[in-house]
Structure formats: structure tokens, C-alpha cells
């Protein structure tokens, strides 16, 4: 297991309040990619007083501190995920919405090469694959 978000905040000097700590905890425990509404629902169960404005503010703060990443998948609202060393991309099931994480070193390498070829240093990238499940017993 890797560091919790709370630990990362300590390391990066991001001040934690009760609300932030709660949001950190819920995001650390999430194994999916919740949007703000969903996250708000989850934290509200524990602290019904929390404001959605605080949730928005906090995910933004965490994102700017390099603790969360924001995904803007096709035609949906922004979704958030804990940012860990092991970067990955996403394969999205267009029927069910299920999200599968994957890493492909070869693709990563080729991306860098493409950028270099055009005279650029790659600083970020976004790769999303959209697919439909294959019928395996055909």
C-alpha cells in the first residue's frame, strides 16, 4: 500500500481541517473515480454538515497540490482519483461506464518520442480508450 492522502498532505505542507481530513479519508478509501456529487454524498454520510462548496474547494486544492488528479472523460462531469507514483491510463466500457486502469510502457515511450520529434518535451498526456466488451464464447 502507498501513503494515504492525509500523509501526503503532511509531506507537502497542505493544512488539514476536519472537513479536508474527511474528504482525504474518503478519497483514499475509494477504489473508483468519483465525481464531486458522489464524493459529496459519501462524506455527507459521515458529516452531514459539510458543504458541497467545501468539497469543490478541497478537490481543487488537492489537485493543485498534486495529490489528486482530475479526469474529464467524454461528456461527463469531472472525476477525481488519488495520484500515485504508478501513473496509468484508462479504458472505459462505453456500455456500462466501467473504468479499467492500465499501463503500457511501450505507449508511454512512443508518446515521448512523438513529442521529441516535434521539438517538444512531454509534460503531460491524456490517453483514454473507449471499448465494448467482447463476446468471449463465440
Partner DNA sequence: AAAATTAATGATATTGATTATCGATTTTTT
Partner DNA sequence: AAAAAATCGATAATCAATATCATTAATTTT
Q: Which residues in this chain contact a second copy in the complex, by CB under 8 A?
A: 72, 74-75, 91, 93-94, 100, 102, 104, 106-107, 110-111, 114-116, 118-134, 136
**Residues 56, 70 contacting (CB under 8 angstroms):** no
Closest separation in Å from C-beta 104 to a second copy: 5
Taking residues 26 to 55 in sequence order and writing x for each that binds DNA by CB under 7 A, - otherwise, the string is: ---------xxx---------x-xxxxxx-
Q: Name which of a second copy, DNA, none residue 64 binds, using a CB cut-off of 5 to 8 Å depending on partner kind.
A: none
Report in angstroms how near the CB of residue 24 gets to a second copy at its nearest: 23
Q: Coil, strand or helix: which one is 138? A: coil
Minimum CB–partner distance for residue 106 and a second copy (Å): 6
What's the CA dihedral at 33, 36, 37, 43 to 10 degrees? 90
- Residue 35 is given by DSSP the state B
Neighbours of 136 (CB within 10 A): 5
Residue closer to DNA by CB (options 78, 91) is 78
Q: What are phi and psi of 55, to 5 degrees?
A: -65, -45
> How far apart (Å, rounded) are the C-alpha atoms in residues 112 and 61?
29
Q: Decide: is 2 part of the binding site for DNA (CB under 7 A).
A: no
Return d(Cα 28, Cα 82) in angstroms, integer: 7
Chain residues in the site for DNA (CB under 7 A): 15, 17-20, 35-37, 47, 49-54, 56-58, 60, 77-78
Amino acid at each position: 500500500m502507498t501513503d494515504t492522502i492525509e500523509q501526503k498532505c503532511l509531506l507537502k505542507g497542505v493544512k488539514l481541517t476536519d472537513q479536508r481530513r474527511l474528504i482525504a479519508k474518503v478519497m483514499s478509501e475509494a477504489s473508483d473515480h468519483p465525481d464531486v456529487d458522489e464524493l459529496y454524498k459519501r462524506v455527507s454520510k459521515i458529516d452531514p454538515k459539510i458543504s458541497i462548496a467545501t468539497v469543490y474547494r478541497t478537490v481543487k486544492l488537492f489537485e493543485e497540490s498534486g495529490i489528486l488528479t482530475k479526469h474529464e472523460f467524454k461528456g461527463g462531469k469531472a472525476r477525481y482519483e488519488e495520484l500515485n507514483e504508478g501513473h496509468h491510463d484508462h479504458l472505459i466500457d462505453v456500455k456500462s461506464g466501467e473504468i479499467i486502469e492500465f499501463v503500457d510502457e511501450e505507449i508511454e515511450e512512443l508518446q515521448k518520442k512523438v513529442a521529441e520529434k516535434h521539438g517538444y518535451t512531454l509534460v503531460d498526456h491524456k490517453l483514454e480508450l473507449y471499448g465494448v466488451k467482447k463476446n468471449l464464447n463465440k
